[in-house]
Structure 1
Amino acid sequence: MMGSAEHAAIQFLKWQPLYEKEKPFQLFLDLPPDVADQRRTNLAFETRMVEVKNIRGHEKCFDLDENGFIYRTMDGFEDLKDKTEVTGQYLPAIEQLLRKEVEHADRIFIFDWRMRESNAEAQDGLLDVGNSMLPLRPANFAHSDQGPCSVIRRVQAQFPQEAEALLRGRIRVLNVWKPLRNKVMDWPLAMCDGSSLQASDLIETDTVRTSYVSTNLYSLHSPDTQNWMYLKEQEPNEVVIFKQFDSDPAVRSSLSLHASFRHEELPEIFAPRNSIEVRAIVFTNAVGENVKIQ
C-alpha cells in the first residue's frame, strides 16, 4: 500500500496532425534572418493534472527492469562546490554505485552531468555545454532524455573503433539523480513506472543545439495507464537511478519517464531545490577500459 498522493500539474506533448508529415523538433540556437522558416519548434504542450503517489516507506519495492527506476542511499556529497570536486570525486563514486546496483555492468561511460536549481537565477533550458555547474531549472515536461537514435550516434562518436562490437551487446542509458544541500520541498522528481507506458505514448523529438543534434522522447498524456510516483522530501543521501534507454527487448521497462512538479502546498519558508544529475551508458558483454567524462 503506497502512501499519500497528490495531484500535480505536468506538461505533456499535445498531439498535432502536423507530426504525421513533419517530425517534432526544437531548436536552441539563433536562426539566420534570411531563413524563411523562423520557427524554433513545432512542439505544443498541454498541462494535465496527474495523480502522483508518494512511495515513502516503499523505496525498495522497485526494479530497474520491471519499473525502470530504483531508489538507493549514498552517503556524502551533500554539496558539490566546483567542477573539480564533481569530476574528481563524485563521478567515480557514481560509477561505483552503478557497479554495485546495476546487474551486468561490464563497462561504464559517464557522458554528461548537470546541476539544477529551483531558484530565480537558474537557467530555463538554455544549456551551456561548456559549463555544467551553471544550473538549469527543474523540467516540468514528461520526457526521456535519450531517444534510440541519440544513443547509437553517441556510441559511434565516442567509440569509433569499437562501436560495432559494443552495439551488439546490451546498452543501457541511466540517469543518477540526487538532491544537494537540503531535502526536496518544492520541486520533487516524479517517475512514471515504465511498465505502465505504451509505445504509442512516446514521440521522438529532434533537439538541435549549436554543437550537436540529439533526440529525446516526449510523452502524450495517457491517464488510464500511466502510473506516476515520487519520494516525498527526498534527502541528499537518497538517489534515484532510472533508465533512459535499454536495448534489451526482453525487459518489461526499457525506460521511465520523469518530470518535476510543484507541490500543491508549501511551507512559508523552505530552501529551494538543488540537485545534480549524471548520465551514463552501461555496456553489457563489453570489454576494455572504462572511459569517463573529463
Structure 2
Amino acid sequence: MAQPIANSGMNVVLPYLARDPLYKTEKPYATDFDVSTIPGAKDTNHRIELVEHTVHDARATSKSFSLERNGFQFLKGQTCIDVTNCDDDNLIYTKFRPEIAAILRKHFPFYKSFRYLDHQVRKRSPLFPGSPGEPVNFAQPASLPHADFTTRGAVLRMAEKFPETVYCDMEYDLINAWTVLRGPNNDWPLAVCDFNSIDSAADCIANDIIHENSVGENSLLFNSDRHRWYYLADQRPDDLIVFRNSNSLGKRANSYHAAFDTGAVHEPARQSIEIRFACFR
C-alpha cells in the first residue's frame, strides 16, 4: 500500500521493465490478442521489477510544468463528457473532440492544426489488478511506465490512421489529453515522469505492440533513482493532464506515464477518458 509523505506525495510501487540481459538480444514485445492457440507463442517477454518511488502531488509543489520543458502540463478545462455519456462515441467525436482541440489551441498556439487520432475510455474493474485473465468490458489502468509511441511508432500509427497523406516532411507531435470522468479521484491516478529526470539513451527501450494484423511500437522505461514522478491528487473532470507521447523530430520532451495504486480502496473505481491528436506545427 502507498505510504503518504507530508506535503509532498506518497511512496508507491511501480512495475518497471527490468534491466534484464534478455533485452541485449531480444526486443521487448507484448501482444494485444489471445495467442494461446499458437504453438509455442507467448503473449509477452516482459520481465518486471517492482520499484518504490515517490510520486509527488503536483498541487503541493511550487514547481510549474510545461509541455515543452517537462513533456507534460496540467490544465483546467470543462468538457461535456462524464460518467453518464462516456460511452457515446458520436458525442465524443462531435463535441468532446473539438472542446479538447480548442483547449490545446488556446494553451499551445504554436500548433497550427489538429487531427484526431483516437480516444480511450477506461473503467477500472473491481477485479483489477488482482484477477488477471478475468473478462472485462473496458480497458483497465496501464501501470507499466511507458510512452505511447516511439518516433517510429508515431510514423506507423499516422500511416495507419491517415493512409491518404504522407507526413514525412511535416513537423508534428502526438499529444494526449487525459482526465477522470468523476472526482475527486484518488483511485489508480495517472503519474507522469519529468522528462528532465530521464536519460533517454540509458533508461528507454523500444517495445513492439503486436496486433493480429499489424505491429506498432511504443517505448518502455527502465528504472532510475533519478526519475521524478508527479500526479494530481483529488483529480476532477476539469483537471486535464496533457502530455506529449512522441514527436516527428525525436528531440522534444516526451512523457512517460503510469497508473499507480494509492491504496484508496474505499473510493469508487476510477473511470477516465483520454483523447489523442496529431498536432502540426
TM-score range, shorter chain: 0.7 to 0.9
Between the aligned partners of 1:190 and 1:32, the Cα distance in structure 2 is 33
Q: CA deviation at 1:111?
A: 1.0
Matching residue's letter, 1:281 = A
In the alignment, what sits opposite 1:275? 272
Amino acid at match of 2:53: V
Q: Distance in 1 between matches of 2:275 and 2:74?
A: 15
Partners of 1:121 and 1:263 in 2: CA distance: 16
* C-alpha distance in 2 between matches for 1:59 and 1:109: 34
Asked if the contact 1:114/1:135 (under 8 Å) is kept, the reply is no
Runs of 5+ consecutive residues of structure 2 not aligned to the other structure: 1-5
Matches of 2:63 and 2:81 in 1, distance apart? 22
Question: Aligned partners of 1:85, 1:146: CA distance in 2, in Å?
Answer: 26
Superposed counterparts of 1:6-17, under 5 Å: 6-17=10-21
CA contact (8 A) 1:192 1:227 kept: yes
* Cross-structure match for 1:112: 118
1:204 aligns with 2:206: yes
Change (3 A) 1:158 1:136: closer
- Corresponding letter in the other structure for 1:260: A
The residue aligned with 1:28 is 32
The residue type paired with residue 170 of structure 1 is E
Query: Is the 1:176–1:241 Cα contact (8 Å) retained in structure 2?
Result: yes
Residue of structure 1 equivalent to 2:220: 218
After superposition, the C-alpha distances for 1:93-119 in whole angstroms (9 at most, x for unaligned) are: 111112112232122111111111223
Which residue does 2:240 correspond to in 1? 239
Distance 2:66 2:271 in 1: 26
Would the aligned equivalents of 2:121 and 2:274 in 1 still touch at CA under 8 Å?
yes
Q: Does 1:97 align with 2:103?
A: yes
Give structure 1 stretches of 5+ with no counterpart: 127-133, 285-294
Tell me which residue corresponds to 1:261: 260
Q: Which amino acid aligns with 2:219?
A: L
* Number of the residue aligned with 2:3: none
Residue pair 1:182, 1:271 contacting (<8 A) in 2 also: no
Bigger Cα displacement from structure 2, 234-243 vs 143-152:
143-152
Q: Which amino acid aligns with 1:217?
A: S
2:22 to 18, 22, 37: 18
Change (3 A) 1:148 1:248: closer
Aligned to 1:61: 64
**TM-score, normalising length: structure 1:** 0.83
The CA deviation at 1:34 is 6.0
Alpha-carbon offset, residue 198 of structure 1: 0.8
Counterpart-to-counterpart distance in 2, 1:84 and 1:59: 40
* Cα distance in 2, alignment partners of residues 125 and 112 from structure 1: 26
Q: 1:160 Cα shift?
A: 4.2
TM-score by length of 2: 0.86
Per mean C-alpha deviation after superposition, the further-off stretch among 233-242 and 101-110 is 101-110
What SS does the corresponding residue of 1:61 show, helix, strand or coil? Answer: coil
The alpha carbon displacement at 1:180 in A equals 0.6
2:176 maps to amino acid: N
Give the letter aligned to residue 184 of structure 1.
Answer: N
Q: Is the CA contact (8 Å cut-off) linking 2:126 and 2:269 kept in structure 1? A: no
RMSD: 2.7
Which amino acid is 1:262 matched to? D
Percent identical residues: 26
SS in 2 for 1:153: helix
* Partner Cα separation in structure 2 for residue 243 and residue 87 of structure 1: 21
Amino acid at match of 1:144: A
2:185 maps to 1:184: yes
Is this contact kept in 2: 1:9–1:48, CA < 8 A? yes
